């Protein structure tokens, strides 16, 4: 039929279960970023997605569950991002650390919106063990991976460093610039944030990293 073409452009009224759920989770992220955890309502999410509020409950049953699914979605997305970056990097520890650092600056994942949504969960996490459990596994994997890479670098460079502490400082600084960038009063940009991380790497591993990135 001649009228088939437009259909491919407009959104169909009925979507498959999974497609609709992803749409609603993305709307949740957007709402969380715009309104914060405490003020996000189911109605906001529905309005943001351009759907009726009843549909949100149809797919997620409760607000609690919608938030849990959203957190899982974000956590998995983050995890897959750094794992893909690692898989695409060369075999050297230097290249791998660099890939890990750059992964966190991937524009697809590290949008202000997603950062704000993450931050919403952080603030409430302490009173909600449920949400912690959604991420602990992925977080642990990240930390161990980072430590393993640092250990190789220390061995290679003969640095006199406490591996765990070095890995921790690196991770906290990466997370920290994230948070700084997300705050409205951020006084520096993405490039400066990356430079800050490289400054740290260069200080810990001077044979592998300079202040502008990995040494040749």
DSSP 3-state assignment of 11? coil
Under the binding rule (CB under 8 A), the answer on residue 36 touching a second copy is yes
Judged by beta carbon, residue 113 or residue 156, the one nearer a second copy is: 113
Which position among 48, 66, 99, 171 is part of the footprint of a second copy (CB under 8 A)?
171
Residue nearer to DNA on the CB measure, 57 or 173: 57
Cα distance between residue 130 and residue 61, in whole Å: 17
User: Binding residue for a second copy (CB under 8 A) from 84, 175, 189, 190?
Assistant: 175
Stretch that binds a second copy, among 42-50, 69-77, 88-96, 197-205 (CB under 8 A): 197-205
Residue 43 near DNA by CB under 7 A: yes
109 binding DNA? (CB under 7 A): no
119 binds a second copy (CB under 8 A): yes
CA nearest neighbour of 193 among 175, 207, 209, 206: 175
Nearer to a second copy, 80 or 164 (CB): 164
Closer Cβ to DNA, 52 or 203, answer by number: 52
CA distance 49 to 42: 11
Nearest by Cα to 38 from 5, 8, 77, 67: 67
The distance of closest approach from Cβ of residue 11 to DNA in the complex, given in angstroms and rounded to an integer, is 9
| CA pair distance 156, 153, nearest whole angstrom | 5
What span, in angstroms and rounded, lies between the C-alpha atoms of 204 and 206? 6
Question: If we measure between CA atoms, which residue out of 169, 164, 161 comes closest to residue 197?
Answer: 169
Which of a second copy, DNA, none interacts with 148 (beta carbon under 5 to 8 A by kind)? none
- Dihedral pair phi/psi, residue 57, rounded to 5°: -70, -30
The residues that touch DNA, with contacts defined as CB under 7 A, are 12-17, 20, 39-43, 51-55, 57-59, 61-64
């Amino acid at each position: 039929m001649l009228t088939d073409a437009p259909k491919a452009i407009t959104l169909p009224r009925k979507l498959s279960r999974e497609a609709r759920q992803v749409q609603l989770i993305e709307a949740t992220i957007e709402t969380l970023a715009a309104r914060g955890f405490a003020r996000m309502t189911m109605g906001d999410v529905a309005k943001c997605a351009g759907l009726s509020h009843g549909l949100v409950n149809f797919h997620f049953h409760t607000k609690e569950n919608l938030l849990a699914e959203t957190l899982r979605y974000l956590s998995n997305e983050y995890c897959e991002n750094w794992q893909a970056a690692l898989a695409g990097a060369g075999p050297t520890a230097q290249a791998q650390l660099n890939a890990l650092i750059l992964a966190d600056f991937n524009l697809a994942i590290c949008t202000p919106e997603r950062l704000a949504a993450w931050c919403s969960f952080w603030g409430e996490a302490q009173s909600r063990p449920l949400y912690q459990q959604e991420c602990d596994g992925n977080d642990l994997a990240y930390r161990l991976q980072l430590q393993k890479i640092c250990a190789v670098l220390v061995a290679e460079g003969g640095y006199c460093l406490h591996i765990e502490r070095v890995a921790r400082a690196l991770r906290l600084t990466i997370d920290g610039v994230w948070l700084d960038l997300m705050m409205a009063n951020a006084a520096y940009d993405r490039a400066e944030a990356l430079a800050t991380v490289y400054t740290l790497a260069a200080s810990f591993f001077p044979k592998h990293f300079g202040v502008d990135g990995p040494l040749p």
